[in-house]
């Protein structure tokens, strides 16, 4: 039987007439790295502020190591928080910033020195003890903030978009450092971001949030390859969402009409296309002929070829590093993105092409606006 270091039970929170959290529940194991992923305003920060004791829920409970801490003050629960803006004292050097919490608790000077140096060594800042925050880079400031947060070895460390102010290269470097540190310390991390790359690269599990609720909770692999909703599919990995009507079902595969071919356009003379594509069904899909469905297809799974069933216009062709990307427009106006690594598409802007996908690569999802 699993034991959980942190349990959130049906948390609800309103600010005035705005319902920010709508019954959030989550169980977190010791040493887990869980990311709360969602766009601004979905309730992520409110949720960790409640965990930290900086906000009180209207209802629900926060259980830490089996103890109800919902009404406890922040300094009475074994939780620390790292914020995006570092929150360092500008007049103190690195050592003093990291030592501040221990000094307030009147820990002995020798013990403070020992623990501060251990924390700075973990974040690879041992040589920066006498520098002021103004003499540090953004990444170094963030590591000081992390050292200050971990010095008391909290049961849970909350990180509110801690890398958001860093440039792309430094952010990627810090992702690896944070994950290394978390594994070494064994501290439970609850991490907030709206960056799907961070969530996929760092997390043991991801909780995708929308409008104060969890849309899906699972491993990065589960959410990427088996999204449950159109929102989760688009937010994690930017999937294409295609919508259509089931015309036939045979051998566990549904043929879905995406659009009706325009025979007057002249495109049919270039190649045969039907306006349909296939989607693999699984046992949980209670799909019948005539049903309207939505399916998620990743950009890397879109293929071009004369035998494909859909016609599309190449609207834009672009390159990003080793990634080649096509923006394709279907006759009904819907746009689809196709991408591939290490090769160029045999298609140019303004050209009509036949596109499709392997039925196994189309996942039926709950459609959400």
Distance CA 179, CA 202 (A): 6
Cα separation, 176 vs 186, whole angstroms: 15
pLDDT of residue 344: 73
State the burial class of residue 2 (Cβ atoms within 10 Å of its Cβ: 0-12, 13-18, 19+).
exposed
- Beta strand segments in 226-349, E: 240-250, 253-257, 276-280, 292-297, 303-304, 310-320, 323-329, 335-341
**Strands across the sheet with 213-218, in order?**
79-83, 156-160, 188-193, 33-37, 205-210, 213-218
Highest mean pLDDT among 3-7, 8-12, 158-162, 178-182: 8-12
pLDDT exceeds cutoff 70 at 1: no
- Output the furthest CA–CA distance in the chain (Å, rounded): 85
Q: What is the pTM of this model?
A: 0.87
Contact predicate 77/157, CB 8 Å: no
CB within 8 Å of 179: residues ≥ 6 apart = 33, 201, 202
pLDDT score at 271: 62
pLDDT at 98 over 60: yes
Q: Say whether pLDDT at 2 is over 70.
A: no
Q: What is the pLDDT of residues 278-300, one digit of tens each?
A: 999 988 888 999 999 999 999 99
Whether the per-residue pLDDT at 87 is higher than 90: the answer is: no
Q: 3-class DSSP state for residue 79?
A: strand
Closest CA to 337 of 360, 353, 314: 314
Instruction: Write out pLDDT tens, residues 300-339.
Output: 999 988 778 898 999 999 887 778 889 999 988 899 999 9
Q: What is the model's pLDDT at position 276?
A: 93
pLDDT confidence of residue 5 = 95
Give the pLDDT band of residue 153 (cuts 50, 70, 90).
Answer: confident
Is the per-residue pLDDT at 204 higher than 60? yes
On the question of pLDDT at 277 being above 90, the answer is yes
pLDDT of amino acid 238: 80
Residue-wise pLDDT tens digits, 5-40: 999 999 999 999 999 999 999 999 999 999 999 988
- Which residues partner with 310 through β-bridges? 355
H-only helix segments in 105-208: 109-122, 138-150, 168-185, 196-202
* Distance between CA atoms of residues 338 and 317, nearest Å: 10
What is the mean pLDDT of the segment spanning 96-112? 90
Q: Could you say which DSSP state residue 233 is in?
A: H
- Across all residues in the chain, what is the average pLDDT? 89
- 171 Cβ contact list (under 8 Å, min separation 6): 163, 195, 198
Q: Which two tokens mark 174?
A: 């810090």
Looking at residue 270, its pLDDT comes to 60
With 90 as the cut, is the pLDDT of residue 181 above it?
no
Q: Which helix (H) or strand (E) holds 102?
A: helix 94-104
The phi-psi region of residue 17 (left if phi > 0; otherwise alpha if psi is between -120 and 50; otherwise beta) is alpha
């Amino acid at each position: 039987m699993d034991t959980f270091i942190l349990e959130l039970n049906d948390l609800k929170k309103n600010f005035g007439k705005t319902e920010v959290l709508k019954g959030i529940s989550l169980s977190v194991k010791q040493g887990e790295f869980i990311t709360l992923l969602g766009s601004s305003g979905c309730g992520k920060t409110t949720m960790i502020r409640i965990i930290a004791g900086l906000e009180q829920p209207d209802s629900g409970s926060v259980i830490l190591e089996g103890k109800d801490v919902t009404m406890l003050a922040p300094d009475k629960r074994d939780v620390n928080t790292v914020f995006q803006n570092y929150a360092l004292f500008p007049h103190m050097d690195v050592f003093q910033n990291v030592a501040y919490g221990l000094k307030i608790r009147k820990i002995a000077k020798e013990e403070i020195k020992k623990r501060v140096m251990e924390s700075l060594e973990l974040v690879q800042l041992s040589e920066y003890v006498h520098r002021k925050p103004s003499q540090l880079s953004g990444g170094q400031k963030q590591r000081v903030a992390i050292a200050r947060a971990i010095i008391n070895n909290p049961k849970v460390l909350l990180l509110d978009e801690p890398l958001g102010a860093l440039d792309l290269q430094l952010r990627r470097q810090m992702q690896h450092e944070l994950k290394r540190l978390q594994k070494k310390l064994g501290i439970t991390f609850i991490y907030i971001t709206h960056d799907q790359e961070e969530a996929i690269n760092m997390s043991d599990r991801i909780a995708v949030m929308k409008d104060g609720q969890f849309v899906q909770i699972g491993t990065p692999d589960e959410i990427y390859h088996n999204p449950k909703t159109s929102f989760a599919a688009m937010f994690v990995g930017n999937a294409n969402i295609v919508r259509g009507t089931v015309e036939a079902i045979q051998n566990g595969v549904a043929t879905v009409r995406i659009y009706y071919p325009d025979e007057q356009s002249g495109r049919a003379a270039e190649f045969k296309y039907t306006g349909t594509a296939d989607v693999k069904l699984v046992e949980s899909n209670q799909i019948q002929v005539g049903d309207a469905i939505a399916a998620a297809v990743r950009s890397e799974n879109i293929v071009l070829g004369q035998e494909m069933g859909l016609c599309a216009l190449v609207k834009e062709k672009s390159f990003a590093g080793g990634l080649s990307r096509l923006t394709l427009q279907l006759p009904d106006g819907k746009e689809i993105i196709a991408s591939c690594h290490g090769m160029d598409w045999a298609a140019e802007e303004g050209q009509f092409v036949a596109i499709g996908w392997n039925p196994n690569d189309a996942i039926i999802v709950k459609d959400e606006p």
